Structure 1
């Protein structure tokens, strides 16, 4: 069974269930008919017994009257009638070829009450009554020929009908299973043509407005998510390869140049400094990649109570010298002291990344404004610069890994292209949101929102 297809399993189960249902139904009909026929026979015998008792009571003076006419009168065959005197000898007064193997019994008999007993393939109705102070037993019997004939006919009918019904049931079941699984097979055939190299194809909808259409919708949504994920992975791999390949190429070039001929100490020192800078760049890139690959749950396990104003001020203090080297002035405006559950060092990384980006891409002698304030039911950390800005069509992608705008695609910033992606992840694991607005050659404003 484990190697069978679902269609074959369903067909097999359908056959078994239908067979069991037909057998149970047939047995029920057989038993019901048997009980019904037996009850009908007993009812007929009751009428005959009462009629015979009336005839006997009408002829009290002569108990040897003809009893055979009851069989013709009621069209009931075979019918056996016997009148017995209820004494120790059990003398038979009158009989109609009553079967000799049916003994006269008195157990369970009650006066003027009809009692039925099944003896030796016969059903016998008995009644005790008095005539002239003498007690008599009237017995009316018939065999099971009528019942057996009826049941035998029913048996042959069922033997004939059950296979026919079973064949029709199997055929109908196979048709229903085939029709039900046809859309699934079409979906499977469509999915076979979709592979990792081409996820743009979609499963065609049947427009049946049923569960199959819902399944197709979910599959297509899954394919769309996979396509987006694969594109991001390919872009990420390409960018990561580029980011790591470029410094390695520079290091290799510096080493090859240094080894071509003997050089003085200053030249070797310069080469080593270049190599060190590139190694640090590789290290920063790897560290950033490892951080982005971390599980959010593992990070949130180390949460403590932190103050957002302290995080903001500390980040500004640590970057003051860096801003001074770029001839940029940092200006703060802290008006809120909200507390949240979070990871202080991670939040500081996010805020410092935003401030550092603002410094790197601001015009000389401009001001970078850092604010922390309350807005509605949220606490906002805002970083605003007066710099080169970001084009509208690039603002949506600024939080992607390794993405850099054309104006900032250079190494002068010293970044890895992962800063904004890291900011977004840190804000997300703190249940916050980040919003960017920018205008080319005017400046950029990045705001982080925290509930509470």
Structure 2
């Protein structure tokens, strides 16, 4: 059963129970009040008869005649009946041995008269009885006249009261049916309206489960369901970001596997080819030396590749030993080796370094500087210029390496820090590179809570800026 159906069903059941119970209580209470009022009126009428009889008792004692007593009592009864005629009033006066003195009853008096048992003078008892299809209220009292007991029974037909109750129940049933039908219709639309946002969330959840991670619940209400929808959308956004990140990581991992396979295949093919050539042909000193040189160079290339891969793996799980240092001093220590790298292409190396205190592991910072300068030299043309800057910027330390080389296309900037990614594959191959240097730089920057920024323009050069900041800084790569 759906949620809206549960809301509709349980609310209808609750309404029916409460509405019917309340209506029945009202009808019964009203009937009880009217019946009690009728009983009080009937008892008052009986007392009136008794008062009339008591008023003439002294006269009856003077005459002390049974016939006279019967005549007087009959006259009193007839006068009372005529006064209350047409109202369902009945009166019976019985003397000794239950002999009837007066009666206008149109029904047979029941044989068992419980109200007469133990009846005392000046006492009135009443009882309700069903006579045929009517309900009668019997009130009885006894009066002693000249040492003779006379029983006065005043009967009131209260059938209209019960008929009124039945009519009220009949009307109530009609109203009840109409009210329940109307309530069902209203609750149908209310329950559907209340649960529509939930149905939207269920539908959106199904679409997200089917891979449409950008779907969101469109709901602007401020109630609890609106808050739930907002939290649901936030959760969906987090899930979408995680899925995108996983897909990006999977793609990067697959590219890593493809690239490392390719990097290993090229030197191995050369090694295996020359080894097989030397194994299957007659000895020729020139060919032998050429093959040995190729095998040696390709072996060194594999060694360099494995070393860089090992560095990259170790950096992932490394906990560096940080010590206070200065970026300017670290660059100064490396100046001679950096100028040696630049001299290979007659490149001018310019150092614009300011004091930049930094808590870091010096050897890892040297790796960053060496890789960035090496890449800058490789990207530069003969007799170009590479500039190294260090500066203090607020609480941050900045290392900046700028070249005047070919530059990097905008579409490549976001990917240059991936392992084996090479924007200029020909240049990298010619320089025996594998595309791991910038990946190592990024890992080292992460260990030092650094931010890497890249600014490049084709034909005008590239600037790579490493900003060493506070421990809560995130790693960013940006390009302009």
| TM-score tier (shorter) | 0.5 to 0.7
RMSD: 5.7
**Is the alpha carbon distance of 1:254 and 1:288 closer, same or farther for their aligned partners in structure 2, counting shifts above 3 Å?**
farther
Contact 2:347 2:384 in 1 (8 A): yes
**Is the alpha carbon distance of 1:185 and 1:287 closer, same or farther for their aligned partners in structure 2, counting shifts above 3 Å?**
same
> Deviation at 1:255?
1.9
| SS of residue in 2 equivalent to 1:402 | coil
Contact 1:320 1:330 in 2 (8 A): yes
| SS of residue in 2 equivalent to 1:355 | helix
1:348-383 alpha-carbon deviations (Å, 9 max, x no partner): 332321122123333445553322112355321111
> Deviation at 1:283?
1.0
| SS of residue in 2 equivalent to 1:383 | strand
- Give the counterpart of 1:280 among 284, 295, 303: 303
Contact 1:401 1:421 in 2 (8 A): yes
2:40 is aligned with 1:22:
no
- Give the counterpart of 1:405 among 412, 423, 428: 423
2:397 is aligned with 1:379:
yes
Cα separation, 1, equivalents of 2:333 and 2:53: 132
1:81-140 alpha-carbon deviations (Å, 9 max, x no partner): x9989x98556856676449xxxxxxxxxxxxxxxxxxxxx9x9x9xxxxxxxxxxx999
Please name the residue that 2:373 is paired with: 355
Cα separation, 2, equivalents of 1:185 and 1:361: 53
1:120-165 alpha-carbon deviations (Å, 9 max, x no partner): xx9x9x9xxxxxxxxxxx9999899666886698689979998998
**Is the alpha carbon distance of 1:49 and 1:186 closer, same or farther for their aligned partners in structure 2, counting shifts above 3 Å?**
closer
Q: Which runs of 5+ in 1 are unaligned?
A: 1-8, 75-81, 101-121, 127-137, 195-201
| SS of residue in 2 equivalent to 1:409 | helix
Cα separation, 2, equivalents of 1:407 and 1:271: 21
**Rg larger in 1 or in 2?**
2
1:260-295 alpha-carbon deviations (Å, 9 max, x no partner): 234658556524412422321441464366469x4x
Q: How many pairs align?
A: 385
- Give the counterpart of 1:41 among 16, 19, 31: 31
| SS of residue in 1 equivalent to 2:432 | coil
**Is the alpha carbon distance of 1:208 and 1:445 closer, same or farther for their aligned partners in structure 2, counting shifts above 3 Å?**
closer
Contact 1:350 1:426 in 2 (8 A): yes
Q: Give the 5 Å matches for 1:119-134.
A: none
Q: Which runs of 5+ in 2 are unaligned?
A: 55-75, 90-112, 140-153, 221-228, 471-480
Q: Give the 5 Å matches for 1:264-413.
A: 266=289, 269-284=292-307, 286-287=309-310, 290=313, 294=316, 302=320, 304-309=322-327, 310-314=329-333, 316=335, 319=338, 321-323=340-342, 327-328=346-347, 330-340=349-359, 344-364=362-382, 366-375=384-393, 378-390=396-408, 394-395=412-413, 397-406=415-424, 409-413=427-431
Please name the residue that 1:130 is paired with: none
Cα separation, 2, equivalents of 1:311 and 1:71: 125
2:406 is aligned with 1:415:
no
Contact 1:370 1:383 in 2 (8 A): yes
**Is the alpha carbon distance of 1:444 and 1:189 closer, same or farther for their aligned partners in structure 2, counting shifts above 3 Å?**
closer
Contact 2:407 2:456 in 1 (8 A): yes
Cα separation, 1, equivalents of 2:86 and 2:440: 105
2:62 is aligned with 1:62:
no
Contact 1:288 1:422 in 2 (8 A): yes
Please name the residue that 2:266 is paired with: 246
Contact 2:455 2:462 in 1 (8 A): yes
Contact 1:255 1:271 in 2 (8 A): no
Q: Give the 5 Å matches for 1:183-202.
A: none
1:5-39 alpha-carbon deviations (Å, 9 max, x no partner): xxxx52xx555554443333322223212221222
> Deviation at 1:187?
9.4
1:15-72 alpha-carbon deviations (Å, 9 max, x no partner): 5554443333322223212221222123213433454465456552337966996994
**Is the alpha carbon distance of 1:159 and 1:351 closer, same or farther for their aligned partners in structure 2, counting shifts above 3 Å?**
same
Please name the residue that 2:70 is paired with: none
TM, length-normalised to structure 2: 0.58
Q: Tell which deviates more after alignment, 435-444 or 22-31.
A: 435-444
Give the structure with the larger helix fraction.
2
| SS of residue in 1 equivalent to 2:53 | coil
- Give the counterpart of 2:451 among 411, 415, 433: 433
TM, length-normalised to structure 1: 0.60
Q: Tell which deviates more after alignment, 310-319 or 161-170.
A: 161-170
Cα separation, 2, equivalents of 1:451 and 1:141: 102
Please name the residue that 2:467 is paired with: 449
Cα separation, 1, equivalents of 2:216 and 2:386: 57
Q: Tell which deviates more after alignment, 138-147 or 31-40.
A: 138-147
